[in-house]
Structure 1
Amino acid sequence: MTSDVTGNGMQSILRAACVGVGIDASDAEPVDAPGVYRLRDGIVVRIGGREQKLASSREVAVARWLETCGVSATRVIPNIPQPVVVDGRPVTFWQELPPHHPGTPGDVAQALEQLHRLPLPGFELRRMSPLARVEDDIAAAQTVTEDDRRWLRKHLEELRGRWKVLPQGLPWSVVQGAGGGDGVVVGDDGDVILAGLGRAVIGPPEWDLVHTAIECWTAAAINASQYAEFCARYGRDVTRWDGFYLLRDIQEFRMALQSMRAAALDPTYQRQALRRLACIRGDEGMRPWPGWADID
Structure 2
Amino acid sequence: MTAESAFADVRFDLVRKAASAAGLPSGGAVPIRLAENDLWRIPKGVVVRIARAGQSAAAAREVAVTRWLATQGVPAVRPLDLEQPVHVAGRAATFWEELPPHRSGTSADLAPLLRRLHDLPPPSTVQLDLMDPFVRVAERITAARSVGEDDREFLLARLDELRHAWAGLPDGQPLCVIHGDAWGGNCAVTEDGQRYLLDFERVSQGRREWDLTSTAVAVDTFGTLSDEEYERFCAAYGYDVRSWDGYPVMRDVRELRLVSFALQTADQHAGALEQAQHRLACVRGLRGPRPWHWRAVP
- The answer to whether TM tops 0.5 is yes
Matched, 1:210 2:213: yes
Q: Deviations over 1:47-103 (max 9, x none)?
A: 23331111110110111111111011011112x011122343222110001111121
For residue 26 of structure 1, report the CA deviation from its aligned partner. Answer: 3.3
Rounded to whole Å, the distance in 1 between the matches of 2:134 and 2:174 is 20
CA distance in 1, matches of 2:97, 2:23: 16
Query: Which residue pairs with 1:221 in the alignment?
Result: 224
The equivalent residue for 1:106 is 108
Distance 1:124 1:187 in 2: 31
Alignment of 1:62-77 (within 5 A): 62-77=65-80
Count of residues in correspondence between the two structures: 291
The separation in 1 between residues aligned to 2:49 and 2:141, in whole angstroms, is: 30
Provide the residue aligned with 2:62 in structure 1: 59
1-structure distance, mates of 2:29, 2:287: 48
Aligned to 2:34, the other structure's residue is in SS state coil
**Counterpart of 1:93 in 2: which secondary structure?**
strand
CA change 1:258–1:18 in 2 (3 A) is: closer
Whole-angstrom CA distance in 2 between matches of 1:32 and 1:286: 34
Structural RMSD (CA):
1.9
Equivalent residues in 2 for 1:229-244 (5 A)?
229-244=232-247
**Counterparts of 1:282 and 1:30, CA distance in 2:** 39
Q: Which residue of 2 aligns with 1:293?
A: 295
Could you tell me how far apart the structure 1 residues matched to 2:24 and 2:261 are?
37
Residue ranges of structure 1 left out of the alignment (5+ in a row): none
3-state SS of the aligned residue for 1:153? Answer: helix
Provide the C-alpha distance between the structure 1 equivalents of 2:270 and 2:104, rounded to a whole number of angstroms: 29
Contact 2:175 2:205 in 1 (8 A): yes
Q: What is the CA–CA distance in structure 2 between the aligned matches of 1:40 and 1:267, rounded to whole Å?
A: 34
Q: What residue number does 2:90 align with?
A: 88
SS of alignment partner, residue 274 of structure 1: helix
2:119 equivalent in structure 1: 117
**Conserved 8 A contact 2:107-2:183:** no
Please tell me the residue identity of whatever aligns with 1:231. C
CA distance in 1: counterparts of 2:66 and 2:159, whole angstroms:
33
Query: Which deviates the most, 267-276 or 202-211?
Result: 267-276
Structural mapping, 1:120-159, within 5 Å: 120-122=122-124, 123-159=126-162
Query: 2: distance between equivalents of 1:59 and 1:98?
Result: 21
Q: In the TM superposition, what is the alpha-carbon distance from 1:19 to its structure 2 partner?
A: 3.6
Secondary structure of 2:44's match? helix
1:50 aligns with 2:89: no
CA distance in structure 2 between the partners assigned to 1:183 and 1:177 by the alignment: 11
Q: 1:182, 1:196 within 8 Å by CA — same for their partners in 2? A: no
How far, CA to CA, are the matches of 1:86 and 1:261 in structure 2?
A: 25
Distance 2:88 2:199 in 1: 24
Return the alpha-carbon distance in structure 1 between the equivalents of residues 257 and 133 of structure 2: 9
SS in 2 for 1:31: strand
User: Which amino acid letter does the alignment assign opposite residue 31 of structure 2?
Assistant: P
Amino acid at match of 1:117: D
* 2:33 is the counterpart of 1:32: yes
- Which range is displaced more, 42-51 or 93-102? 42-51
Q: 1:199 aligns to what? A: 202
**Structure 1: distance between partners of 2:15 and 2:263:** 32
Residues in 1 aligned to 2:286 and 2:29: alpha-carbon distance in whole angstroms: 50
Alpha-carbon separation, structure 1, partners of 2:281 and 2:272? 14
- 2:47–2:98 contact (8 Å) kept in structure 1: yes
- Residue 274 (str. 1) matches residue 277 (str. 2): yes
What secondary structure is seen at the aligned counterpart in 2 of 1:51?
coil
4+ residue runs over 6 A deviation: none
Native 8 Å contact 1:179 1:208 kept in 2: yes
State the identity %: 41
Q: 1:279 to 1:95 in 2, by over 3 A?
A: same
Distance 1:180 1:196 in 2: 10
Given that residues 27 and 43 in structure 2 are in contact (C-alpha distance below 8 angstroms), is that contact kept between their aligned partners in structure 1?
A: no
1:182 aligns with 2:185: yes
* In 2, Cα distance between equivalents of 1:279 and 1:7: 35
1:258, CA displacement in angstroms? 1.3
Q: Which residue number in structure 2 is paired with residue 23 of structure 1?
A: 24
* 2:233 counterpart letter in structure 1: F
Deviations 1:200-236 (A, max 9, x none): 2221111011111110122110100000000000000
Q: Residue 131 of structure 2 aligns to a residue in which SS?
A: coil
TM-score (norm 1): 0.91
